[in-house]
């Protein structure tokens, strides 16, 4: 029969949000509309999909509340779709707030055998000029176009790789951006124009694959929760007490959003070393909006081996997955 079917998985988010009036752009309830109903706002969706469409409602959540049970169900649904020879590609409707984290999770754990395309919206489905229908249509176009496997994010007419995409604005329609390098492709009038023609699949961030398990295992999906990891910001007047409190409460890993080139306030350094001595994983990233930490190459700081080559939100997910793969005593 061939890879003819497109699978669309719904998780909720603003794209499925409902407001009291068409003019309301904030204060709405996310995840109120089913994924099947979202398809009805795009009359030529099956035409863009180049074949039949199958929908599945994974969850109906505001993505700020994303949790491991939803992620686990999403991973299982994606795995089933990827293993189905009749599936051409997978599209996922998602909220913008944690979309970059979900994209990175899927990119880390799923094989890059078919396109997996996440899309979203900044306005609820009930808005006078809702952006969700166009984003969904563009995502289906990218998924059905073939030739580019891996995990992608489509929004505002742009196609972003999972490793680079970040939410950079709390309100504007162009809220998703690849800060380093820009979008990988554009969607124009129902056609995809790739800006990086030689990329066979969604690229990973430098050194990022080494942070996570090579492939998803049944052991991971059997977990009731992922290991506890927190992000701690370093800055002026930083103190040790926050780190000490997290360690006392049982945190297993800390990603430090450091200043500049992943530097850390001297008031926090000693607490991080105490945490490391107790077996807590410590990675250092940068709170800068652009760029990643660059090691000095002088070999004077052994902690440079723990520089997170990802934005801190994604580094946190990477550490959770890496910790989950470690044997526990």
pLDDT digits (tens, 9 = 90+) for 135-192: 999 999 999 997 799 999 999 999 999 999 999 999 999 999 998 889 999 999 999 9
CB-based contact 283:314 (threshold 8 Å): no
Question: What would the pLDDT profile of 203-228 be if each residue is shown by its tens digit?
Answer: 665 544 455 554 456 688 889 999 99
Catalytic option among 11, 14, 98, 119: 14
What is the torsion angle, in degrees rounded to the nearest 10, for the CA atoms of residue 4, residue 93, residue 44 and residue 50?
Answer: -20
Residue 7: alpha-carbon gap to chain centroid: 19
Angle at 312 (CA atoms; ends 310, 314), nearest 5 degrees: 65
Please say if 286 is a catalytic residue.
no
Give the model's confidence band at 296: pLDDT under 50 very low, under 70 low, under 90 confident, else very high: low
- In terms of residues, how long is the chain? 329
């Amino acid at each position: 029969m061939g890879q003819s079917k497109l699978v669309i998985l719904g998780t909720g988010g603003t794209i499925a949000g409902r407001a009291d009036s068409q003019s309301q752009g904030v204060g709405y309830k996310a995840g109120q509309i089913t994924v099947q109903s979202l398809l009805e706002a795009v009359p030529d969706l099956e035409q863009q999909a180049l074949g039949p469409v199958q929908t599945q409602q994974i969850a109906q959540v505001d993505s700020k509340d994303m949790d491991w049970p939803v992620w686990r169900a999403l991973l299982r649904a994606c795995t089933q779709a990827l293993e189905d020879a009749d599936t051409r590609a997978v599209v996922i409707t998602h909220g913008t707030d944690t979309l970059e984290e979900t994209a990175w999770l899927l990119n880390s754990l799923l094989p890059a055998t078919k396109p997996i395309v996440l899309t979203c919206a900044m306005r609820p489905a009930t808005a006078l000029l809702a952006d969700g229908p166009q984003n969904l249509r563009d995502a289906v176009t990218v998924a059905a176009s073939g030739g580019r496997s891996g995990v992608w994010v489509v929004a505002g007419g742009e196609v972003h790789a999972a490793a680079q995409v970040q939410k950079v604005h709390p309100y504007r329609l162009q809220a998703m951006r690849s800060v380093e390098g820009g979008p990988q492709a554009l969607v124009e009038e129902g056609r995809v124009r790739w800006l990086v023609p030689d990329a066979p699949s969604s690229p990973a961030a430098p050194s990022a694959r080494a942070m996570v398990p090579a492939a998803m295992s049944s052991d991971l999906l059997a977990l009731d929760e992922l290991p506890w990891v927190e992000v701690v910001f370093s800055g002026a007047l930083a103190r040790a007490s926050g780190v000490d409190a997290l360690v006392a409460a049982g945190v297993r890993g800390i990603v430090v959003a450091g200043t500049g080139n992943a530097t850390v306030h001297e008031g926090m350094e000693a607490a991080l070393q105490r945490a490391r001595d107790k077996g807590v994983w410590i990675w250092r990233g940068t709170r800068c909006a652009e760029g990643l930490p660059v090691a000095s190459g002088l070999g004077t700081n052994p902690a440079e081996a723990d520089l997170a080559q990802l934005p801190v939100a994604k580094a946190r997910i990477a550490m959770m997955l890496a910790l989950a793969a470690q044997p526990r005593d």
